[in-house]
Structure 1
């Protein structure tokens, strides 16, 4: 049984005002070809197919076009909802897509049978049973009780999620026994587990207040296909518990990651191998950091590396203490002749910010807003009149905030 594992497509994402439509189109085309080349029996998409609960029409069209293109491959699809996905929207076409060899699991339900998917190999024989668990919302598995502390709620939620997995696994084992088939059991999930490495594009939404689910609370799956974390990785160093990561870089701190598609081979003895396929880069992202002189040198070096036929998206982090009211114009001038588009210029404070509290060994929490503002103004070369105006504006803001409270 050969299964491909992917997640976190985020169709319809707008990245600093730019659409990812072309990248997603290229990704879907590459994936369809890869499914055929690998002769995969099934493809699991472990959540966050869309970037928002109300994706643009072109993203929905990409979703349906991909499923139609997959029909020629005889590959079964298992699509799980993530925290970005709308349960209602996925359910709109769920029954129709079931006719196209596609299983859409949008939410946890009371009927556990709806979350059990029996996958067949290309020869028609049963090859695996999937405990298809999407993103779990607390209300799906937990009933709140009066007087519970935050710690109690977190403990109860963890136990409820663990119980849900255990019940599904037990049902999968029962199916194996009833049908007399020795096939592997695969689990899925869209959540954060203990010890994973995050990126800035991973929204800080976990399972309710549960920040990380313990690895040892999962049943003994032969393979566990996880989504939500965009960096591909093994969990706790275990070969059979993996995040596939996102197929495209969803933030600049993912720009240097090699994106991956996971090829999972199983048989009656369980997991045989996990092979990593490198995903091509469909849109290059580069983040540069330094002062203006250093950036000028980096741009000179970058000119020799860039593809003249493709536009590279840039993030520029300017490390300087001096204030430039024309910073973006200065940066744009440095790369005017290069095939790049600057999407973000960030001004990174240097030693002056650290110096606000370092001189007297103070910490920020010990200072009042007025003291912090006064210290910061002291670092600038301003006239007495400018300082007075800024103090007045700062006091107005503080007064409004206090009124709002």
Structure 2
């Protein structure tokens, strides 16, 4: 059985005022080619297929087009909901897409066995069992209890998620016995694990509740396909627990990462081989740092990766010259006539500077809600204890609001 593990597509993302539509379309085309070339039996997308719960129409169209094109390859598709995805929006086409060989698990199901899937080889025979676990919202597995401390809530949520995994894995074992074969059991997840290395574009999921899920709480599945963290990595050094990462760079600190999807070969004994397929870079994206003199050289070098049709997107962090009041004009002069586009200028000392496009919302695009709150706190005359207290209360309010979302 050969699966292809991907996650965190974030279709419909707008990055500092720029659409990623062309990049996503190029990736989908490339992925279809890989499925054909490597005779993939099933593709797993481990959450965050969309960037928001209400994606633009072109992003939905890309999603639907990919499903139709993948169908023609003879490969199955399983889509798991992530924290960015709307359970209702993903679920509305679930029945229809099942007719096209695509199974969608948008959220935790009322009947647990609906999350247990049989994956098939191209010849139609059963190849693996899948414990399809999407992003788990606290309300899916917990009931709020009055008087619980933040630590109690974290412990309760961790135990509830672990129990969900164990119960579904037990169903998979029973199903394997029923089928009378030695089918490998695969599990998925969309969460942060202990020790995972994140990037700026990854947001906290369980604000004030669960910081990270321990690897010891996973069941003994042959392979665990994870999403949410955009940097490809093994979890705890374990070969069979993997984040494949996002297929395109979703923030400037991901610009130098080699993005990938994972080919996983399994049989009755477990994982036979895991191979990383490097994803081509469809849009040049770089973060540069230095004095104006150093940046002059770096910008010229960066321009070599761009073209008039596809300029390099740049973030510029100005070092020793950050006190200058006309940085935007100076940076613009360095870029004149070159196939580059500066999306954001930052001063090393932390003095906020707008990008050349000058939109405040573009700066906010790179901040989490908590970042904004923390910056607002820092502008007040408060000591560390007072700031910590207010930040704790803020996290508690956000956590309660998220738990109460419909």
TM-score band, normalised by the shorter chain? 0.7 to 0.9
Distance (whole Å) between structure 2 residues aligned to residue 321 and residue 336 of structure 1: 19
Partner of 2:233: 233
Superposition TM-score, scaled by structure 1 size: 0.85
Partner of 2:217: 217
Structure 1 unaligned blocks of 5 or more: 352-366, 373-405
The reply to whether residue 188 of structure 1 matches residue 188 of structure 2 is yes
Residue 207 of structure 1 deviates from its aligned partner by 7.5
Partner of 1:343: 343
Structure 2 unaligned blocks of 5 or more: 352-377, 384-406
Partner of 1:107: 107
Deviates further, 147-156 or 66-75:
147-156
- Aligned-residue Cα RMSD (Å) equals 1.9
Aligned partners of 1:319 and 1:350 also within 8 Å: no
Partner of 2:13: 13
CA gap 1:306/1:80 in 2 versus in 1, 3 angstroms: same
- Tell me the SS of whatever aligns to 1:73: coil
Superposition TM-score, scaled by structure 2 size: 0.85
Q: Output aligned runs, 1:52-91, within 5 Å.
A: 52-91=52-91
- Tell me the SS of whatever aligns to 1:287: strand
Question: 1:330-374: CA deviations, max 9, x gaps?
Answer: 1011011211111111111189xxxxxxxxxxxxxxx995799xx
- Tell me the SS of whatever aligns to 1:212: coil
Larger-gyration structure (1/2): 1
Question: 1:147-187: CA deviations, max 9, x gaps?
Answer: 21111111111111000000000000000111212100000
Residue 305 of structure 1 deviates from its aligned partner by 5.2
Partner of 2:287: 287
CA gap 1:92/1:213 in 2 versus in 1, 3 angstroms: same
Distance (whole Å) between structure 2 residues aligned to residue 304 and residue 106 of structure 1: 42
Residue 208 of structure 1 deviates from its aligned partner by 6.5
Distance (whole Å) between structure 1 residues aligned to residue 341 and residue 267 of structure 2: 48
Distance (whole Å) between structure 2 residues aligned to residue 29 and residue 368 of structure 1: 48
Aligned partners of 2:190 and 2:227 also within 8 Å: yes
Distance (whole Å) between structure 1 residues aligned to residue 282 and residue 123 of structure 2: 35
The reply to whether residue 47 of structure 1 matches residue 54 of structure 2 is no
Distance (whole Å) between structure 2 residues aligned to residue 222 and residue 306 of structure 1: 43
Deviates further, 301-310 or 187-196:
301-310
Partner of 2:203: 203
- Tell me the SS of whatever aligns to 2:72: helix
Partner of 1:161: 161
Aligned partners of 2:292 and 2:321 also within 8 Å: no
Partner of 1:31: 31
- Tell me the SS of whatever aligns to 1:199: coil
Distance (whole Å) between structure 2 residues aligned to residue 166 and residue 350 of structure 1: 46
CA gap 1:302/1:55 in 2 versus in 1, 3 angstroms: closer
Residue 306 of structure 1 deviates from its aligned partner by 4.5
